[in-house]
């Protein structure tokens, strides 16, 4: 940690969160590769690390690294936004260790114990067996405590310092984010009610509170990286909040078509979720518009240099705007009408959407925050890309696009063969899986997954070395 | 500065965002109050009295369950205990489940609760989909109880050496990798005999849930693939 330019404790703490997030991101990809390999070679690690175990770690690591990086992002931007040191740094550090330790224990139990007997001790101590929310109950309670501590720090700082529009949005949003988690903690014998509340967490996180979160981060990035006008950016942010919550909250209905819930969710889900892409289009246009405007204004003054203060980070922010629009907006829209979803529900098509949406909307911008932190830590005024950052960005983004394309093809085959031709039976399912085109899709997903992973390795080396490169403006 | 209009006033947009969010949230909560009672689990009395529930009581395991096209609703619905003149459940025809068709409300509930708990403890959802949600590595289990492979014409009963569907399923769940039908096998998850029984009850009960016609045409089409 020689020449650390960080002057606030809040930013130093943010780098802890970012570092841990990057490690878990790596773990996510490794277990994704294991699961993808099992599609191609089903005997791989059979009855050692079964698909269910690999997949559980893959998607839990996904959620956890993102939550860590989100907390890190807030600790990073708070001093800039509020003008003061964050309140409760000691608590923030303690929570970091508690959270990190809990995650390590949870993952070790997933990996070493895997499954338990059918009683409540399994739910409390091993896993809850509900996709994304597998974390056992003791960890659920720990997570709520950690997040509440984090929200307390955010509120205390926002109330003491200058409460900007961005901070106000984050305060409201993070409280909702924490509160919604509670909906997923209960146990019920009724699987329909179970899934009803389960979607409150999954959907209301990714299609409401997380979207608003990235809207705030994008706003911060536009102000700090290209000098966009705060008042305009914050106005856009409020409009985005209105559009995102206005469509996303009731858009939850697109998960209530087939789980036992009444038919009226067809109409409600279709209508509101079909509106969800609109704010994503708006956010995309907003980023490009502000960029063009700032650059144009500068060039009008005769200065022919880029306005971007952090090239790699800004690249990831632009890719976020694109990826969010494509993965969530376009791929989401594809299957959001009940007439379509009746056939695509729970196929590789869903997986295609899940990958591009989670990656496009969240992984991108959080990687961008990693680069912002590197810039700050090394006291760089204008940070340029390196060969490595360009390779990493292209391979990761290209890799995930490739995986999405492959999954979309396989999904298409699965929908036609299993659902349309064969009526969704056990043998129909395997007829689809055995189709050559399906199998090729699985091969390509694995290949593109390896590209993504190699890109990640380059990303890590770049994050560790780019700060020392000599071509930046200090 | 241009003339100030409400459209460029941050306060206006902040208030709009708050109102819209509040309104959407209240609507969702209101709809939740309408939906939850509709998906509460029914009980034995409902079945006895011919009351159709979206999520029937656990003693539905005492009945024959099928999945039939309902012309009025335009899709398939679970039909419990045979079909009546309107094409819905008659709640008459029983079907033995592990040798009995008189499971009491409490006994059946105990089985179902054990099965639900086992489905979570063994993480079925990270390989299979349940009600279409979960993972895509193995077949959807929503109507698995009705899958032809388990029926008298299917291969699973003879393969497991059992003479009923429920026994065949329970045997498979306890030793799945002993009865593989595809290279992609289900692993042994340490499921006990009692847990397997509970799981089969859970699967049979899930088949009786009114899923608005998902999956479409379940096992009705024996396929146009390769002209089979
Ligand atoms: C960044 C935002 C989004 C993320 C991260 C995301 C992620 C996901 C994921 C992971 C799933 C699969 C859940 C499971 O495992 O069962 C899913 C399902 C779904 N998503 Fe999204 N999504 C986003 C936005 C959207 C939008 C905007 C739409 C609609 C326009 C949409 C429509 C759907 C639908 C209809 C399903 C259900 C798929 C099925 O029936 O199998 N999503 N989403
Ligand atoms: C090395 C690259 C990756 C590989 C090989 C990979 C592989 C997989 C596999 C095999 C599954 C299980 C899908 C199934 O049940 O059939 C899965 C699920 C999932 N992965 Fe990945 N993955 C990779 C990267 C990512 C990334 C970068 C993200 C997001 C940032 C992501 C998000 C998800 C999500 C949300 C699911 C659940 C999808 C659903 O239920 O619809 N994965 N992944
Ligand atoms: Fe959703």
How many independent structural domains does chain B possess? 1
Where does the pLDDT of residue A31 fall: very low under 50, low under 70, confident under 90, or very high at 90 and above? very high
* pLDDT for res B226: 53
| CATH assignment of the domain containing A432 | 1.20.210.10
The closest of A71, A131, A143, A151 to A101, measured between CA atoms, is A143
* pLDDT for res A4: 79
Tell me the CA–centroid distance for residue B165 and ligand 2, in Å: 35
**Residue A173 lies inside a defined structural domain of this protein:** no
Residue B189: its chain A contacts at CB < 8 A?
115
Where does the pLDDT of residue B7 fall: very low under 50, low under 70, confident under 90, or very high at 90 and above? confident
State whether the Cα torsion A301-A303-A307-A309 is positive or negative.
negative
pLDDT at B223 over 70: no
**Residue A41 lies inside a defined structural domain of this protein:** yes
What is the dihedral angle through the alpha carbons of A64, A16, A174, A148, rounded to the nearest 10 degrees? 90
pLDDT at B5 over 90: no
Q: Is ligand 2 within 6 A of the CB of residue A59?
A: yes
Tell me the CA–centroid distance for residue A340 and ligand 3, in Å: 15
**Residue A279 lies inside a defined structural domain of this protein:** no
Domain's final residue, options A123, A143, A162? A162
* Nearest chain B Cα distance for residue A260, angstroms: 5
* Domain boundaries, position A472: 307-474
Read off the pLDDT of each residue in A413-439 and give the average, rounded to a whole number: 95
Residue A229: its chain B contacts at CB < 8 A?
none
* Nearest chain A Cα distance for residue B65, angstroms: 16
pLDDT at B210 over 90: yes
The best mutation among A251, A278, A332 to test binding of ligand 1, ranked by most ligand atoms within 8 Å of the C-beta, falls on A332
The best mutation among A277, A345, A357 to test binding of ligand 1, ranked by most ligand atoms within 8 Å of the C-beta, falls on A357
Q: Is ligand 2 within 6 A of the CB of residue A55?
A: yes
Q: Do B120 and A55 touch (CB under 8 A)?
A: no
**Residue A185 lies inside a defined structural domain of this protein:** no
Report in angstroms the alpha-carbon separations of B199 from A65, A70, A81, A328, B181: 34, 39, 54, 35, 20
Read off the pLDDT of each residue in B193-197 and give the average, rounded to a whole number: 98
| Nearest ligand 2 atom to alpha carbon A399 | 2
* pLDDT for res B228: 44
Q: Whole-prediction pTM value?
A: 0.97
Which ipTM was obtained for this model?
Answer: 0.96
Q: Do B183 and A430 touch (CB under 8 A)?
A: no
Tell me the CA–centroid distance for residue A20 and ligand 2, in Å: 20
Which residues touch B61 (CB under 8 Å, ≥6 apart)?
Answer: B97, B103, B108, B111, B112, B201, B204, B205
Tell me the CA–centroid distance for residue A420 and ligand 2, in Å: 25
Q: Do A126 and B121 touch (CB under 8 A)?
A: yes
| Nearest listed ligand to the Cα of residue A243 | 1
Residue B215: its chain A contacts at CB < 8 A?
345, 419, 423-424
Asked if residue A100 lies in contact with residue A21, where contact means CB atoms within 8 angstroms, the answer is no
pLDDT at A134 over 60: yes
Q: In percent, how much of chain B has pLDDT > 90?
A: 91
| Nearest listed ligand to the Cα of residue B133 | 1
Domain's final residue, options A131, A162, A193? A162
**Residue B167 lies inside a defined structural domain of this protein:** yes
Residue B126: its chain A contacts at CB < 8 A?
51-53, 55-56, 129, 131, 134
How many independent structural domains does chain A possess? 2
Domain's final residue, options A117, A133, A162? A162
**Residue A316 lies inside a defined structural domain of this protein:** yes
The Cα–Cα gap between A430 and B103 comes to: 35
The closest of B16, B7, B32, B34 to A244, measured between CA atoms, is B16
Read off the pLDDT of each residue in B72-91 and give the average, rounded to a whole number: 96
pLDDT at B224 over 60: no
Asked if residue B111 lies in contact with residue B58, where contact means CB atoms within 8 angstroms, the answer is yes
Q: Do B149 and A429 touch (CB under 8 A)?
A: no
The set of protein residues with a Cβ atom below 6 angstroms from ligand 1 is: A 131, 206-207, 254, 273, 276-277, 324, 328-329, 332-333, 335-336, 341, 345-346, 350, 353-354, 357-358, 361; B 132-133
Which tens digits make up the pLDDT trace of A141-152? 999 999 999 999
* Nearest chain B Cα distance for residue A251, angstroms: 10
Residue in B20, B36, B147 closest to A193 by CB: B36
**Residue B139 lies inside a defined structural domain of this protein:** yes
pLDDT at B131 over 80: yes
Q: 């294991």: which residue's tokens?
A: A34
Least confident piece of the model among A296-300, B19-23, B137-141: A296-300
Instruction: Kindly report the average pLDDT of chain B as a whole number.
Output: 94
pLDDT at A194 over 50: yes
**Residue A376 lies inside a defined structural domain of this protein:** yes
Q: In percent, how much of chain B has pLDDT > 70?
A: 96
| Nearest listed ligand to the Cα of residue A257 | 1
**Residue B32 lies inside a defined structural domain of this protein:** no
Which tens digits make up the pLDDT trace of A292-333? 999 999 999 998 889 999 999 999 999 999 999 999 999 999
| Nearest listed ligand to the Cα of residue B126 | 2
Q: Do A348 and B136 touch (CB under 8 A)?
A: yes
Read off the pLDDT of each residue in A51-66 and give the average, rounded to a whole number: 98
Read off the pLDDT of each residue in A173-188 and give the average, rounded to a whole number: 94
Which tens digits make up the pLDDT trace of A75-123? 999 999 999 999 999 999 999 999 999 999 999 999 999 999 999 999 9
**Residue B66 lies inside a defined structural domain of this protein:** yes
Read off the pLDDT of each residue in A263-271 and give the average, rounded to a whole number: 98
**Residue A213 lies inside a defined structural domain of this protein:** no
* Domain boundaries, position B59: 44-227
pLDDT at B77 over 60: yes
**Residue B28 lies inside a defined structural domain of this protein:** no
Q: Is ligand 2 within 6 A of the CB of residue A363?
A: yes
* Nearest chain A Cα distance for residue B51, angstroms: 16
Query: Would you call the peptide bond into A42 cis, given omega within 30 degrees of 0 as the criterion?
Result: no
* pLDDT for res A1: 44
Report in angstroms the alpha-carbon separations of A87 from A8, A9, A69, A372: 11, 10, 19, 22
- Ion ligand 3: residues, CB within 5 A, are A 203, 207
* pLDDT for res B227: 44
Where does the pLDDT of residue B4 fall: very low under 50, low under 70, confident under 90, or very high at 90 and above? confident
């Amino acid at each position: 940690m020689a020449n650390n330019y960080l002057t606030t404790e809040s930013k130093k703490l943010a780098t802890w969160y970012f570092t841990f997030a990057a490690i878990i991101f790596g773990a996510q990809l490794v277990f994704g590769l294991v699961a993808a390999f099992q599609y191609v070679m089903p005997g791989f690690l059979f009855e050692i690390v079964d698909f269910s175990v690999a997949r559980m770690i893959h998607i839990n690591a996904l959620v956890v690294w993102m939550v860590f990086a989100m907390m890190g992002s807030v600790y990073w931007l708070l001093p800039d936004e509020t003008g003061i040191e964050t309140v409760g740094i000691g608590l923030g550090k303690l929570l970091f260790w508690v959270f990190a330790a809990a995650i390590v224990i949870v993952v070790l139990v997933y990996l070493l114990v895997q499954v338990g007997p059918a009683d409540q001790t399994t739910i409390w101590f091993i896993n809850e067996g509900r996709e994304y929310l597998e974390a056992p109950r003791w960890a659920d309670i720990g997570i709520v405590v950690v997040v509440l501590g984090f929200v307390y720090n955010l509120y205390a700082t926002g109330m003491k310092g200058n409460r900007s529009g961005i901070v106000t949005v984050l305060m409201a949003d993070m409280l909702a984010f924490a509160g919604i988690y509670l909906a997923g903690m209960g146990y019920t014998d009724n699987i329909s009610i179970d899934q009803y509340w389960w979607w409150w967490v999954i959907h209301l996180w990714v299609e409401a509170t997380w979207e608003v979160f990235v809207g705030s981060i994008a706003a911060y990035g536009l102000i700090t990286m290209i000098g966009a006008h705060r008042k305009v950016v914050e106005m856009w942010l409020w409009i985005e909040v209105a559009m995102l919550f206005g469509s996303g909250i009731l858009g939850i209905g697109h998960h209530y078509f087939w789980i036992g819930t009444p038919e009226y969710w067809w109409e409600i889900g279709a209508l509101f979720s079909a509106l969800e892409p609109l704010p994503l289009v708006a956010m995309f246009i907003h980023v490009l518009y502000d960029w063009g405007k700032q650059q144009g204004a500068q060039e009008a003054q005769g200065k022919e240099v880029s306005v971007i203060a952090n090239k790699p980070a800004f690249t990831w922010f632009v890719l976020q705007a694109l990826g969010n629009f494509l993965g969530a907006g376009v791929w989401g829209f594809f299957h959001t009408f009940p007439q379509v979803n009746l056939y695509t529900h729970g196929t590789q098509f869903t997986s295609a959407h899940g990958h591009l949406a989670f990656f496009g909307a969240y992984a991108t911008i959080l990687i961008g925050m990693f680069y912002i932190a590197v810039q700050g830590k090394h006291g760089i005024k204008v940070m340029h890309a390196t060969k490595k950052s360009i390779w990493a960005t292209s391979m990761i983004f290209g890799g995930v696009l490739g995986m999405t394309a492959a999954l979309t093809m396989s999904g298409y085959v699965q929908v036609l063969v299993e659902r349309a031709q064969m009526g969704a039976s056990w043998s129909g399912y395997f007829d689809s899986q055995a189709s050559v085109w399906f199998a090729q899709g699985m091969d390509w997903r694995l290949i593109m997954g390896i590209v993504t992973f190699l890109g990640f390795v380059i990303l890590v080396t770049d994050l560790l070395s780019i700060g020392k490169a000599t071509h930046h403006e200090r | 500065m241009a003339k100030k209009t409400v459209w460029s006033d941050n306060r206006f947009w902040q208030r709009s965002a708050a109102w819209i969010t509040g309104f959407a949230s209240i609507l969702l909560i209101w709809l939740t109050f309408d939906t939850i009672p509709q998906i509460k689990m029914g009980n034995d009395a409902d079945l006895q009295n011919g009351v159709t529930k979206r999520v029937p009581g656990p003693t539905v395991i005492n009945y024959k369950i099928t999945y039939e096209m309902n012309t009025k609703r335009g899709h398939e619905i679970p039909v419990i205990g045979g079909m009546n003149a309107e094409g819905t459940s008659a709640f008459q025809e029983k079907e033995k489940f592990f040798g009995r068709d008189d499971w009491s409300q409490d006994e059946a509930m105990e089985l179902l609760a054990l099965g639900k708990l086992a489905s979570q403890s063994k993480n079925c959802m990270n390989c299979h989909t349940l009600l279409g949600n979960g993972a895509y590595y193995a077949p959807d289990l929503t109507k698995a109880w009705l899958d032809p492979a388990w029926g008298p014409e299917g291969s699973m009963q003879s393969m497991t050496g059992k003479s009923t569907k429920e026994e065949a399923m329970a045997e498979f769940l306890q030793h799945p990798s002993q009865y593989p039908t595809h290279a992609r096998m289900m692993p042994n998850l340490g499921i006990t005999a009692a847990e397997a029984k509970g799981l089969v009850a859970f699967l049979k009960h899930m088949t009786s849930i009114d899923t608005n016609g998902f999956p479409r045409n379940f096992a009705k089409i024996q396929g146009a693939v390769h002209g089979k």
